[in-house]
Each structure stands twice: as structure tokens, then as C-alpha cells.
Copies of this chain bind each other. A is one copy, B any other.
């Protein structure tokens, strides 16, 4: 068994540990932000962590109303621009905490008067030491080059951060994310069987929207780095603005389809894909009945993740929904005879400027 698969299975425990160790700090931080609300938030990251930032950008704007921006690191590192960040909150996200450019953005932000937060898996990292406030992801050492448990740990930290910033969610509700992750893990053997069909897939497109847009980037990244599949990723809206022209029946679409406000545009896209003979594999959960009409094309998380109408309904889907994608990439790598833990040309810590 690959280390990647082992680490995928550790996710519910990692989320629980992170919740227990960080929740008291988060309560304190919430008090702090009651009187020190940031004017806007900048998130800085690379790779998988940047996908977690992409999720944070939606979650934080939707639940707190504070405008969020994803940092362009080169503005700080190469161009050495002086961006006016006083009264901003700048959050750097890095599994290792040793990402040179992300850390440099945080340093510049601190000099510019911003409050700084670091989200990292490594308590002794440069990032954990330099930030004013560290959110530690308690995922345990991640040994596979393909990040999985640290990604969901970072997503989880984003929920904690949203709570700290005053989002109308209950801290205790976050506990159930560990259960949701556990429900998604039950798909392991089904997904291993499904992966066989894709043995010779070389290209794919992954589609998500809103709170699952980041997951489309992350699923695609796993396909790229562990299976060497050329995986495009788009929101359903962006796909229609041009790129849909390149799709053809020779490569499949993987589509995140939670219930809630994104379902209508996603359903329309699925119909459009069908009309141009693109085969789709849909990821959904028990509460989206409409998505489950054709079992051949649907992976259903065996839990109803949305129990009552809430706004936005699919707030808690991001962690369980990415897990079928992780399982799929790990399984497909195996089917293709590849080692997902040691992708060619990659190492665990990437230093870029």
C-alpha cells in the first residue's frame, strides 16, 4: 500500500486532533477580532496550500463578508512592491512552513503593518516562528510527496479561522467534519474498482464551483503529480467561456456536484457535456438526490452532508468531497503502475522565489 493511501486514511483522526489542540486558541482569537476586525485579508501560498487558500477565499468572504485576496507572491519577492497592508490580515499557508516565497510575503506584510497568521503542519518551522499567530495542523508528519492530510487539515484551519473572524458557525459543528471525512473514506474499494476504467487516460478536466472550486484544483493537481495525467481544472462558468471547445469524447470530466446553490449551474454543465459526448464522473453525497440518477456516472458519499436548509447549504462539503478525488488519484497511480509517493522530478519541500 502506498504511503499516500495510508495518509488519506488518517484524515478523520488528523481533523479531530487539530480541533482539540486548537479550539481554545481559536476562541481567544475570536475575542481579539471582535475589537480588531481586519479591513481585508490576503492569503499567500503555493501548490496544494494555494488550493487551500483558494477555498479560504470563498469561505471567508461568504461567511464573514471581509474581502479576501490571493497574494501574487512575485509582487513582493521579485518586484519588491510596497503594497499598503496596514489594517490587513495576511495569512501564509505552508505544509512545511519552509516555503521561501510564502514566508517572504509574510515578512513584508509584517513590515507593512499587517497582522500575520501562519497555517502549517510543522510547529518548529520558520513560518510558525515568524508569524504573530500560528494555526497548527496536527496531521502528523506527511511522508508522501503528494499532500493529502495536510490539505484537509488546512481546509479545516480555514473553518477555524472563519469562526475566529466572527462567522455564524458553531465551533462544535466543526467536529462533525471528522465524521464526514470518515464517511467519504468508505468509498475506497468502490473507487479502486472504478479507477480501472481510466488506466489509459492521459487527459482530463476537473470541474467545481464556489466552495468546491478549490477541490477541482486539488484533484487535478493530484492527477498531475501522481498519475502524470494532463488535468485541466475550471469552474463551470469559466469552462463555458472558451475552454469547452477543446473537450472531446476522448477525455473525461470529473465534476463536484454538492447540493445547494451551485447545483443548478453544475447540472446545466453536465447536460452540456453529455450533449458533446464527454463522459462525466460525478462526485456527490446522499443529500443531492437529483445527481444520483445514473449509478454508472456517480460516486455518492454514503452520508447526507446537508441535513437542513442553511445558507450556504454546502458549507461543510469541501473536506469530504475532496477525499474521493484523493482516493481516485492514489488508486489510478497504482493501476498505472506508478509510485504516488515519489513522483518523478518532485521533492517534498519546494523552494521558489
Chain A residues engaging chain B, CB cutoff 8 angstroms: 39-40, 42, 46-48, 50, 57-58, 61-62, 65-70, 72-75, 78-85, 88, 101, 203, 209-210, 213, 221, 224-226, 228-232, 235-238, 240-248, 251, 261-262, 265, 276, 311-312, 343-346, 350, 352-353
Contact = CB atoms under 8 A, between A and B. Distances in A.
Contacts of A46: 237-238, 241
Contacts of A73: 237
Given A67-B84, A74-B235, A78-B265, A346 B61 contact: no
B345 A244 contact: yes
29 contacts: A40-B69, A47-B238, A62-B75, A65-B82, A66-B84, A68-B69, A69-B70, A70-B70, A72-B210, A74-B261, A78-B209, A78-B261, A79-B210, A79-B261, A203-B203, A221-B242, A224-B245, A225-B245, A228-B248, A229-B246, A230-B246, A230-B251, A236-B352, A237-B352, A237-B353, A240-B350, A244-B345, A245-B346, A265-B352
Task: Report how many copies the assembly holds.
Answer: 2
Given A67-B83, A69-B68, A343 B245 contact: yes
B246 A350 contact: no
A42 B67 contact: yes
